Structures are given as C-alpha cells and as structure tokens.
Chain A
Amino acid sequence: MLRIGIDVGGTNTDAVLMSGTSVLGWVKAGTTRDVTTGITAALRELLAKTQAATSDISAVMIGTTHFVNAVVQRRDLTETAIVRLGLPATKGLPPMIDWPSDLRDVLGNHAYLAHGGYEVDGRLIAPLDEAELRQIAADIRAKGISSVAVSAVFSPVNGELEQRAAAILREELPDVTFSVSSEIGRIGLLERENAAIMNACLADLGRKTIQAFRDALKELNINAQLFLTQNDGTLMSSEFAEKFPVLTFSSGPTNSMRGAAFLSGLKDAIVVDIGGTTTDVGVLSHGFPRESSVAVEIGGVRTNFRMPDVYSIGLGGGSIVQTEPLAVGPRSVGYEITSKARIFGGEQLTASDIAVAAGMADFGDRSKVADLDTGLVERAVERIQNMVAEAVDRMKTSATALPVIVVGGGSILVRDQVEGASELVKPDHYPVANAVGAAIAQISGEVDKIFTLVELTREAALQQAREEAIARAAAAGADPASIQIVDVEDVPLAYLPGNATRIRVKAVGDLQIRS
C-alpha cells in the first residue's frame, strides 16, 4: 500500500512516494499557475523515478495554497450572498463590515439579516421567521447568486437554527451551494462568518480545482483516494474539500513541521524550514505545531483560524548577498536561481553561492565561485548562521536547549550546529519534508463550545467535549482504534460569575484506508 504526498508551494511542487513509514522516492517540479499541470508533471516524474505500479497507490494527499492565493489576489471568486440570523441583535455591525471594499465589491455586497440566533445560555434571541427567509431566497434567486453563506449567533454552541435556516433556503434555491458557519469556524461571529463567506466565494474554484486534481490522477491511471490537507495538518477527503476549500488556507507551514517531526522522530523541537526566499521557524510541541493566538488577517479579512505560530525571515537559497556592507536577503532571485546565481552561470551572488564556496554544498559549477574572498565567504556564512540562531531563539519558550530540525531545499545554508540548540538534525529527505507531512497527515475532529456549568460539572463538560471530538474524527474517516485527544483548552469566561467556560478539544487519528 503506497501513499503519495504533494505540496504545492509558490515556487515548487514537491511530491513524495511513501510505503508505510519509509520514503521510496521524491521529486521537485515547478509550480504552474493552474496548479494541476505542475502536479501532473511531478507525479509523472515520481512514477518514472520510483517505477511504482499505479495500482499499488491507495491514497494521494495534496497540500495547496491555491485557494488562499485566490482570495488574496481576488481572482476566480464566485459572487456570494450572506444570510445572518441574529435580529434584533447584530444589526449594528452588518456582515463584511470590516472588509476591504475591493473584495466586498468582487463578491457583490449581498448581505441579509434575519431573525434568529441563540443567547449564551441557549435561549432563542428570536424565533426563526420562515416567511422572512423565503423572501430573502426570492431576492437571491432574482439576483442569480449561486453561492450562499449562512451564519447565526452562537451557532458553534447550537447549530440547529442555522441548519434549519439553510434547509429552508435550500428548498427555495435547489441549485445554490451553501456554506454554514458552524461547520467552518469557531466562536466569534464576525470571524466565523468571514470564513463562511470566503468559503462560499471559493465554491466554483473549489469544485473546478478538485475535479482537475481527480482528472490528473485519472490521466496517470492512479485510482486512489484523494485527500487535501487542512490548516491543522490533518486531512479531509476531496469530497469534503470541495465543500470547504477555506480549510486549506494555512496547510503549508503545518505540513513542513509535521513532516520534520516524522522524518526526525522528534516530538518537541524547533523546526527551521529554509526555502528559496524565506525561512519559517516554528515550534513542535508533542508532534504538532504550536498555534498562534492572535487574529490572522487573510487578504485583509479578519479570521480566527488557528494558524501555526511561525516566525519568518527573509533568508533562503536564493537570497541576494551584498558585500559592502555585508547583507544576506531579504531580496531573493527566487525561482530564477537556476539562471541568475553565480554557480549557474549568472551574475548575482546568492546565499547558495556562499554555501558552495564554503564547501557546505556541492551543486552547480563550483569553479564560478572559486574567486570569492575566503574572508568574505566566512563572514557571510557566519551572518547566515546568526540569522537562523536569532530566529530560533525568538521562538524558544525557555532557556533550555531544544533540538533544531532543519528542512527545506535551503537547508544546505546551515552548518551542523546552531547556537542555543541541543542538537541540529537534518533528517533524510529534508528537502521535501512538506510533502512528507502531507503524506503522513492524520484525520481530526474538533469541538469548541461554551458550557454553562450549572447542571454539568466541569469534568462532565470536558468528558462530553472529548467524546464529541472523538466522534467527529471517526465520522471524518479516522480509524477509531487510533484516535487520541491531542489538545484540550478550558478557559473560564471573564466578567461572568464562574458558571460558564469555553472548552476546545481536538482529537486526531490515523486515516482509515479504504480497502
């Protein structure tokens, strides 16, 4: 049983073939604008290189930045309507209130407010008004909008009203795609609603792209299950990803950290991923990336996705090296390294030239950097070393030295030791850790709810949340025997007498492979 992991980055599309826990082979290909052509090329090369029989491949996992880039660049987006249930509350801050106007305009500015939503203690703010919803549906139909997001106050605590409203709208609008906020985001109405709207506006692109992925596999005669990796480094089926493209937004850094953990066998470490232009430094805690707790803006829109806490610096294999005064990066020749760097016959001195001149790596034409002053080379190597050490130190949580795992194509820039690290590990297959991270990704289930601790003890509430998270992971396709709780957060609500607490639980399990 073989798996293929693919990571589509800004510059490279990496693919890796794995059998169980061993890497059988990997390739790097250029990313193409349509994504699919690059994936097909990488797969073709991988199959040729490994001589694997396509019939043995049971699963393909893809991590892609395609959807987040579409939002950032405002292209290929579907006109979208948002229906929010919350009246008489919430009308002071209508949907998309804090959005950049250009993005709002691309989506068409179709916001509807309707009665409904829950209080924090579960009472209704107002009952659902069916006639009101059918009228909204008529308006949406008249405008010819094909994708609709639905949100409701406190729907992560109780999703019933939101689902009922979506069902009523669906009756009236049978050909429309729906994105329901409680299935996408967590507590925080504006942020969750923003995520639902972004998901809705990716409806057409999601369908088209995933279908193209399927066609690519078919063309290469690979009859395997297709998965996409999501923000937290776990998998979703292609059918699920078609409905929830927004959940792929930050899968890149997550995959590389998970891959680094897997390849090195370390669960608590700092991961340094050095690419062509930037270096991302993150922290692995119990095998998972530490998450950032600040609100993350995507394309100017505030979200509350849990993103990995990553610190980025402008250092990579293509970083431009200036000699007077000495500086490395942040500007980079990027994917043009194969024509612009000295070792490839170009004029530009890059970080890769320094690594080759220092004897830390051997690729390109070494004679092209033989004339470099050894003092300069030494100082530049030292500078790169310090940049990495500073970034590592920034992300450390205590004075205790932690192992540092270096991955990514630019790993050759770093010597075998970094200050403040207990050891430096460059695992096998380090250039494609991100694709490995995709190939080994697991399945998760998550719960984020406010519990009122009146009839329920804290322990009972936690237990209930744990069971629900496990059930969700199983429903998403995890092997029940392998499911574990990986994260529990329990924060009592401020400024309320101590009877309400917000509990977030995440369960993760191994993918159950279809026979």
Chain B
Amino acid sequence: MRTFDIENIENVAVGAAVLGTGGGGDPYIGKLMAIQAMRECGPVQLLSLDEIKDDDLIGIAAMMGAPTVMVEKLPSGDEIVTAFRALESYLGRKITVIMSAEAGGLNSTVPFALAARVGLPVVDADGMGRAFPELQMTTLTIYGLGATPLAIADEKGNSAVINTISNKWTEQLARSLTIDMGSSAMIAGFTMTGKQMREAAVPATISLAEKIGATIREARRNSTDPVATVLEVSNGIKLFKGKISDIERRTETGFARGEATIVGIGEDQGSTLKIRFQNEFLIALKDGEVMATVPDLITILDAETGEPITTESLRYGFRVVVMAMPCNEKWRTPMGLELVGPRYFGYDLDYVPVEELAARRNAS
C-alpha cells in the first residue's frame, strides 16, 4: 500500500497518454478532477494486487462519451459519486476497492477523483492495459465477468442502473444514455470479488503509467532524450522515426477513421510508415509490411519531448518516433483477439505479437 498524492497523479496523467495509444481522451481534465478531489479530501491509498483480499468487492469507475465534449462541459464532480452510490444502493452492498477501467487516457485518473471523495483505496490494475473505444473491450469480458449492474449518472443528478445479457449490450445501452445525458457521463459497474479481479484484470498498469510519466517529466526537466528511457521502462520496441507528411481522415460506418503517413528520417530515411487509426492507433505498416497491430499498443511520441501525440492532434510536419508495446497476454487468447483483434476493427489481418514480428525482421 502506498499513498498516492498530487505529484503521483501528475506522473500518471503523462504516462496514461502513452498507454492511450493515440486515444482515451486527453488526461488533462481527468487529472484536474483527481487533483481537485485530493485537495478537498486528501490523498488516496494505492493497493497492489497481492494486497487485495479474496472477498473484497471491487467496482470500476469511468467516464463515458466524447472527450471533446468533456473539455467544454466540465464535470460537476458529483456525477461519479452519484453513479457509485446508485450502484451500491442497487447491490445492497458496499464496494471496498475502486479500479480503473482503462489505464490509457483520462480514465486512468478518474477513479482517483472518486476514491478521494468516498474514502476508498484504488487497486494498481485496470481492465485493458491501454485504451479501447468500447465498454466490452476489457479482459474482464474474457473471464466472463459482467459489466452490469452498471450505474450511469450525469451532472444534473439523473442516474440509471441497467442490466443486460452481455457486455456488448451494456456498451450499446450505456452509449445511448450517454448521448441523452449530453455525450459525457460517468459510469460505475463491473463489480467483482477480489479473487475474480486478480484473475481477470491487467495488473500493475497504474504504476506503469506513473513510471512512464515520471520518466518523460524528468527528461523534460533535464533536457535529456526521453524516447530511449520511455522504451526502456515500457518494454517498448522502436518501430520508426520520421516526419508526419500526410493525415487523411474520413467518417466510415459511424466512426472517425484515418491514416497517417510518416516519411523516414535518420536510419529510416527512404522508408514510409503508414498508421491506420480509429480513435486509437490500430495498425502500423512500414513500406507495406506489418510492424504491429492492435491489441499491441502503438504509440507516437514527439521525437524531441517524448510527449505522446493523439489521433486528434496529429499534424503535418511533426517529427515523431513510433513505438509499440506488447499487450497483456490475456488479449492474445482466441477470445481476446475476437474482442479486439485486427479483424474486429475491420482489417483482414492475422494478429502476430509485435515482438515476434520484430524477431522475424531481425532474422531476415
């Protein structure tokens, strides 16, 4: 158990953008929410997995909706507490530990805003190890854990508790309610025992985000090369260095899709990397050859500052390093790939682990 305070949150927010693989929403608002809650109610205890008791009751807290809306309609701070209390009252039981739904993007820090306000600890784990666009895309689904009962609340005091037959249905119904609530809402759900959580969650991801964030902030202060240290602490593989030369965006089947073209510089001079994205970066192709695919994490860093770049802030001319990190093993199972493999996102590709692709390139 260790005490998580404002400085820890600052680090998590920067690292979470790396784990957000281009999506997950700017952690800035989530960070401010957590910091404000900590200023008012004090710091939060972070528990490691082995500190969780079998009969602990774990619940997930997250923001659902469009991050662009959230930067305008800022939260009241009460939504997340309303959702959490609605869930507890429906369950007739008290939740003892809070978990993050996704360690990538703004949902890495949202649980701390709730934890500070209700005086509960947070577990060092999440349901993705990265960011994904849909609610059922969590390792918890692979282990048969249901998202419902799931409570959803807005800033006006409205809340709903839904029950569904599958996590995919939860995504659908919660998304409709979110749009009615103004395209930004807070949810609480996925209640499970400590035992179930230890089996199904992705462990140690909050501390990983913290470590990556601390590295980038440290490098920024000392003007040292942050990219090399990010690769080291994240177990990442450097895929490419170049300049963004083209961004193409289009709306297809209701989702914003796009492709970024990056022309190589330095040792990648003469090559071109294409990155396909849909909320997050999904596929990286170098001169037509697959370098990495979802669910492995593809991240674009500013070559100079190590600052992660999101799909929405991609701009012509940026000098970047593209890196990939192996996803959690749970995603590499047939069930995991069915949920979030390349084919789920519409790409006719077999998933090959990123480190295996790298080994093949080195061998040839």
Q: Is A326 an interface residue (CB 8 A)?
A: no
- Which residue of the partner chain A has the closest CB to B156? A88
Mark A115-159 against chain B: 1 for CB-CB distance below 8 A, else 0.
Answer: 001011101011000000000000000000000000001100000
Residues of A near B249 (CB, < 8 A) are 490-492
Q: A88-B156, A120-B73, A494-B312 are in contact. Are A187 and B243 (CB under 8 A)?
A: no
Q: Is B254 an interface residue (CB 8 A)?
A: yes
Residues of B near A481 (CB, < 8 A) are none
Bound Cα distance A396, B319 (Å) = 9
Q: Is A232 an interface residue (CB 8 A)?
A: no
Q: Is B358 an interface residue (CB 8 A)?
A: no
Contact B23 A494 (CB under 8 A): yes
Residues of A near B157 (CB, < 8 A) are 88
Residues of A near B200 (CB, < 8 A) are none
Residues of B near A493 (CB, < 8 A) are 66, 68-69, 256
Q: Is A90 an interface residue (CB 8 A)?
A: yes
Mark B66-88 against chain A: 1 for CB-CB distance below 8 A, else 0.
Answer: 11110111111110000000000
Residues of A near B265 (CB, < 8 A) are 399
Q: Would you call the interface of chain A mostly helix, strand, loop, or mixed?
A: loop
Contact A309 B317 (CB under 8 A): yes
Contact B76 A89 (CB under 8 A): yes
- Which residue of the partner chain A has the closest CB to B154? A89
Contact B256 A492 (CB under 8 A): yes
Find B32's partner among A98, A117, A121, A458 (CB 8 Å cutoff): A98
Bound Cα distance A195, B249 (Å) = 30
Residues of A near B315 (CB, < 8 A) are 293
Residues of B near A48 (CB, < 8 A) are none
In B310-328, the 8 Å CB interface with A consists of 311-313, 315-317, 319
Residues of B near A500 (CB, < 8 A) are 66, 183
Q: A93-B32, A290-B317, A492-B256 are in contact. Are A189 and B74 (CB under 8 A)?
A: yes
- Which residue of the partner chain B has the closest CB to A291? B315
Find B255's partner among A120, A294, A309, A498 (CB 8 Å cutoff): A498
User: A43 to chain B: closest CB distance in Å?
Assistant: 38
In A72-130, the 8 Å CB interface with B consists of 86-93, 97-98, 117, 119-121, 123, 125-126
Contact B183 A154 (CB under 8 A): no
Bound Cα distance A458, B307 (Å) = 33
Q: Is A300 an interface residue (CB 8 A)?
A: no
In A18-76, the 8 Å CB interface with B consists of none
Residues of B near A396 (CB, < 8 A) are 243
In B246-272, the 8 Å CB interface with A consists of 249, 251-256, 263, 265, 269
Find B182's partner among A91, A120, A394 (CB 8 Å cutoff): A120
Contact B68 A91 (CB under 8 A): no
Q: Is B133 an interface residue (CB 8 A)?
A: yes
Contact A93 B36 (CB under 8 A): yes
Contact B72 A120 (CB under 8 A): yes
Find A92's partner among B77, B182, B279 (CB 8 Å cutoff): B77
Contact B67 A495 (CB under 8 A): yes
Contact A495 B74 (CB under 8 A): no
User: A125 to chain B: closest CB distance in Å?
Assistant: 7
Q: A120-B69, A121-B183, A494-B66 are in contact. Are A190 and B74 (CB under 8 A)?
A: yes
Which of B67, B72, B157, B252: most chain A CB closer than 10 A? B72
Bound Cα distance A108, B179 (Å) = 38
Bound Cα distance A90, B77 (Å) = 8
Bound Cα distance A501, B156 (Å) = 26
Bound Cα distance A465, B254 (Å) = 22
Residues of A near B275 (CB, < 8 A) are none
Contact B74 A92 (CB under 8 A): yes
Q: Is A366 an interface residue (CB 8 A)?
A: no
Contact B183 A92 (CB under 8 A): no
Contact A495 B279 (CB under 8 A): yes
Mark B266-295 against chain A: 1 for CB-CB distance below 8 A, else 0.
Answer: 000100000000010000000000000000
- Which residue of the partner chain A has the closest CB to B134? A495
Bound Cα distance A497, B255 (Å) = 6
Contact A492 B75 (CB under 8 A): no
Q: Is B25 an interface residue (CB 8 A)?
A: yes
Contact A90 B75 (CB under 8 A): yes
Q: Is B155 an interface residue (CB 8 A)?
A: yes
Contact B316 A397 (CB under 8 A): yes
Bound Cα distance A201, B159 (Å) = 40
Contact A154 B73 (CB under 8 A): yes
In A366-418, the 8 Å CB interface with B consists of 394-399
Contact B73 A90 (CB under 8 A): yes
Contact B76 A398 (CB under 8 A): no
Find A188's partner among B23, B66, B72 (CB 8 Å cutoff): B72
Q: Is B164 an interface residue (CB 8 A)?
A: no
Contact B67 A494 (CB under 8 A): yes
Q: Is B245 an interface residue (CB 8 A)?
A: yes
Find A117's partner among B29, B73, B313 (CB 8 Å cutoff): B73
Contact A494 B68 (CB under 8 A): yes
Contact A154 B72 (CB under 8 A): yes
Find A125's partner among B32, B182, B279 (CB 8 Å cutoff): B182
Bound Cα distance A93, B77 (Å) = 8
Contact B254 A498 (CB under 8 A): yes
Q: Is B33 an interface residue (CB 8 A)?
A: yes
Q: A125-B182, A394-B319, A399-B269 are in contact. Are A92 and B66 (CB under 8 A)?
A: no
Q: Is B213 an interface residue (CB 8 A)?
A: no
Find B254's partner among A86, A154, A491, A497 (CB 8 Å cutoff): A497
Q: Is B226 an interface residue (CB 8 A)?
A: no
Which of A121, A497, A499: most chain B CB closer than 10 A? A497
Bound Cα distance A397, B261 (Å) = 12
Contact A498 B36 (CB under 8 A): no
User: A486 to chain B: closest CB distance in Å?
Assistant: 15
Q: Is B129 an interface residue (CB 8 A)?
A: no
Q: Which 7 A-B pairs have the closest CB atoms?
A: A92-B77, A492-B256, A90-B74, A498-B251, A397-B317, A119-B182, A89-B155
- Ordered by A's residue number, 21 sampled pairs between the chains whose C-beta atoms are within 8 Å are A86-B73, A86-B74, A88-B157, A92-B78, A93-B32, A117-B73, A119-B73, A120-B184, A121-B183, A125-B182, A153-B72, A154-B73, A187-B72, A190-B71, A399-B263, A492-B249, A496-B65, A496-B183, A497-B179, A498-B252, A498-B253
- Given A120-B72, A495-B25, A495-B133; 14 other pairs, CB 8 A cutoff: A88-B76, A88-B156, A89-B76, A90-B155, A92-B78, A120-B183, A189-B71, A398-B245, A398-B263, A491-B256, A494-B67, A495-B279, A497-B179, A498-B251
A binding-site residues for B, Cβ under 8 Å = 86-93, 97-98, 117, 119-121, 123, 125-126, 153-154, 187-190, 283, 290, 293-294, 309, 394-399, 450, 458, 490-502
